[in-house]
Chain A
Amino acid sequence: MICESCGAPVGADLDCFAALGLPRKLVLDPAALERAYHELSRRIHPDRFAQASARARDASLRSTALLTRSYRTLRDPVARGLYWLELRGEKLAENNKSVPSELAELVFEVQDELAELRGARGSEIQALRDRTVARRGELESAMNDLRERLARNFERWDNADHDAKGLVADLKAILSQIAYLRTLIRDVDRELENLKAA
């Protein structure tokens, strides 16, 4: 990201890991990542080139844009996993609409409960609301389990000599479940929010 001879930022099509000067490893220490990001920002940010030539200003702008995007991608494990798939020419199925089979039962139950909550009147609202709040807790813990599975998948990638094919399938399964669960939690939150507003 930085020109060795003059210290100026260089615009390049670096991958997210290279942009932050990090090895291509999936397991990342958030504090180290932030340090790398801050350190590079201090050197290449447009604020450091406000009085430089138009070319240097432009290079600084473009490389900082790349740096911040890389940081954002790597900071969030889910975004990092998706990016990893992208680097290997893979991606989650387009229009990821079908419910992952592992989640199917849970999803249908939650949807039913939300429909009941929407239709609830008078005294029954409170009990149904409490049930949905408890359900939200369950979804949250399912999400935490998935995040742990994701972390384990990352470790296996970094320990190289595993079967990459199985890892790709595992990573895809975890990520699509996370994506689905996120939408579900958002739906639950929206319903609870509507209830509060009403």
Chain B
Amino acid sequence: MSRIFGIDLGTTNSLIAVMDHGVPRVISDPETGETLLESVVAIAPTGEVHTGRAAIAMEPHLTVEKDGRVSAVGFSGGEFGAVIRSVKRYMGLGGGEIAPEDRNRYTFADMSGSVVRFQIGKRAFTPPQISAEILVALKRRAERALGEKVDRVVITVPAYFNDGQRQATKDAGRLAGLEVVRLVNEPTAASLAYGLNKMAEGNVAVYDLGGGTFDISILSIKEGIFEVLSTNGDTHLGGDDIDSALVDWMLEELPEELRHERHVWNSARLAVEEAKKRLSGADEFEIKLELPGHLIRKSLTRGELERIAAPFVARSLKRCEMALADAGLAGADVQAVVLVGGATRMPLVRRRVAELFGREPLCSLNPDEVVALGAAVQAGVLMGTQGDMLLLDVVPLSLGIETMGGVMERLIHRNTTIPTSVTENFTTAVDSQTHVDIHVLQGERELARDCRSLARFKLGPIEPQPAGLPRIAVTFLIDANGILNVSARDERTGREHSIDVKPSYGLTDEEIERMLEEAIDLGEQDLEQRLLIVARNDAEQILGALRKQLGEFPELIEGGERARLEEAAERLDAARKTEDRELISRLVEELNELSTPFAGRIMDFAIKQALEKKSVEEVS
């Protein structure tokens, strides 16, 4: 059997690791030597996929040309292809659940349904499909580095991920052609890495502030048993949020509409990210951001950074207090504190965490790598090579069902060790009732409508009987991945009931099958046919976009250039009616290249206009 690999599928960075003679090791890219793969996926208008650095290069941003002119480059979304960052913030969530600040970052095909879909060209991609591209890149990296097959993995998830977010992560693995042997909570994985060499024992707190999510887990580590006592967190709290707040500070003098312009925003984010990193060592850093015809120059001090970051850190500490209370411990009862996640490099975070627990936190293992290392250790446990080590994790959120009057009846309490199960008896309310509807919920609130809907299912068909007579025992089982499984048995006949569970959010098995088939089909004989369709779609898109731009900005293009563009467009328009895919693709590329300067001028124009409007407003 092949080895099991450990993957940290992070909001900002992802890594792959494996056990090597009892020692976990992060696998670096054999060509570049990189260990971190930026969790960024670019999908070109042609359908081509790039990940990591290559994808970041295609992100919409502003660049200073050789002649000193600032121009906008990159895939700006929609028909122009898109670059997706922090896809983890969208995993397993329905449109209505996406955080307000994440709603405008990309073009979405559908924000109303149970799964959001990114609109890229004519196609729509679900978050698991985008995540799968990151997993595939990691799989290939490890295969190239080690010359062995990678098909079984452990993937880490934030401890506070709900059932839907966990399921979406498993779906991503499946779409990447991987068997996800286990999902492991990130802070728990980190404790495995630290506990392996007994660097941490007794009551241990793991504070994990990553790019997009925050987790706190309190564990008891004793003789190889890693028992999680409690966990808490916020799946929308991370270094990204601090960066966003810094961007707002950086761009506060710009007019509102320009602040959210994707090229401007991304360039500002790169600039503040750099400043934030520098300020872990320095006390002050000057940020320069060049916009067309406008230079923003601001000095960021450690004090200012800490003032901006403080509310986010305070939110994380509140969660720590809740976790301690659930574990029945005080801060002083904790014997070791472990820091995980890039954002914990901030001196402010270290100070506050040290204050809360009354001791200096451990950070001897690289906070960017420790989760992946722990995932590899757990892979070792699953392969049976880690002797007596065993992880006993918990479910982060309570699970229950909706009862009369819309009340949530808790069946499994948060912080219950998993796997766990509970069996509940159901009966009918009226004579000859043949079905019982059950609504499963997850959350801590009293009312069903305030909890997250997890799934609905129908029990039945039940033999017609007087009300209250049927007895159906439904077992809710949460497995070691923290995912719910439901089964039902008729107590009278002893027959197993089949249950059709409809997840409230996320993909159905059929949808995943179809996505898999589509992916596989591309490798079969009709590949050529599909590529032709893709090429034609691309041609349609670029022609449509060009027509629109020529109509809207005639003053930005002079006669000769316009004629050249129109001629190239005509040739492409004729070609797309033929079967010659290569010709179509070549002409798409040609037109793309020819129209780039024009698109750049449109961008410049839009930015300048917005800036002028602002200065007029200031004058008046």
Interfacial residues, chain A to chain B (CB-CB below 8 A): 38, 41-42, 45-48, 50-51, 61-62, 64-66, 68-69, 71-72
- Say yes or no: A61-B419 contact (C-beta < 8 A), given A38-B225, A46-B480: yes
> Contacts of B422 on A, CB cut-off 8 Å?
69
Q: Which 10 A/B pairs are nearest by Cβ-Cβ distance? A: A50-B382, A65-B421, A65-B419, A68-B417, A46-B480, A64-B419, A68-B420, A38-B225, A65-B420, A61-B419
**Whole-angstrom distance from the CB of A96 to the nearest CB of chain B?**
16
Closest to B4 in A: A50
> Contacts of A48 on B, CB cut-off 8 Å?
384, 390
**B381→A65 contact, CB < 8 A:** no
**B477→A69 contact, CB < 8 A:** no
> Contacts of B477 on A, CB cut-off 8 Å?
61-62, 65
- Say yes or no: A61-B480 contact (C-beta < 8 A), given A50-B182, A66-B421, A68-B416: yes
What separation, in Å, do the CA atoms of A23 and B384 have in the docked complex? 32
- Say yes or no: A62-B479 contact (C-beta < 8 A), given A41-B392, A42-B390: no
Interfacial residues, chain B to chain A (CB-CB below 8 A): 1, 4, 181-182, 222-223, 225, 378, 381-384, 388, 390-392, 416-422, 477-480
**B390→A61 contact, CB < 8 A:** no
> Contacts of A46 on B, CB cut-off 8 Å?
419, 479-480
Closest to B416 in A: A72
**A51→B1 contact, CB < 8 A:** yes
What separation, in Å, do the CA atoms of A66 and B422 have in the docked complex? 9
- New A-B pairs, 20, CB < 8 Å, besides A65-B420, A65-B478, A69-B422: A38-B223, A41-B390, A42-B390, A45-B392, A45-B480, A46-B419, A47-B390, A47-B480, A50-B181, A50-B182, A50-B382, A50-B383, A51-B382, A51-B383, A61-B477, A61-B480, A64-B480, A65-B421, A65-B477, A66-B421
**A47→B382 contact, CB < 8 A:** yes
What separation, in Å, do the CA atoms of A62 and B390 have in the docked complex? 17
**A69→B420 contact, CB < 8 A:** yes
**Whole-angstrom distance from the CB of B51 to the nearest CB of chain A?**
29
> Contacts of B383 on A, CB cut-off 8 Å?
50-51
> Contacts of A69 on B, CB cut-off 8 Å?
420-422
What separation, in Å, do the CA atoms of A64 and B391 have in the docked complex? 13
**Whole-angstrom distance from the CB of A44 to the nearest CB of chain B?**
10
What separation, in Å, do the CA atoms of A69 and B419 have in the docked complex? 9
Closest to A39 in B: B225
> Contacts of B417 on A, CB cut-off 8 Å?
68, 71-72
What separation, in Å, do the CA atoms of A42 and B419 have in the docked complex? 14
> Contacts of B4 on A, CB cut-off 8 Å?
50
What separation, in Å, do the CA atoms of A45 and B417 have in the docked complex? 12
**Whole-angstrom distance from the CB of B288 to the nearest CB of chain A?**
42
**Whole-angstrom distance from the CB of A156 to the nearest CB of chain B?**
28
What separation, in Å, do the CA atoms of A62 and B423 have in the docked complex? 12
**Whole-angstrom distance from the CB of A183 to the nearest CB of chain B?**
14
15 pairs from A and B in contact (CB 8 Å cutoff): A38-B225, A41-B390, A42-B390, A47-B182, A47-B382, A50-B384, A61-B419, A61-B479, A62-B477, A64-B480, A68-B417, A68-B419, A68-B420, A69-B421, A72-B416
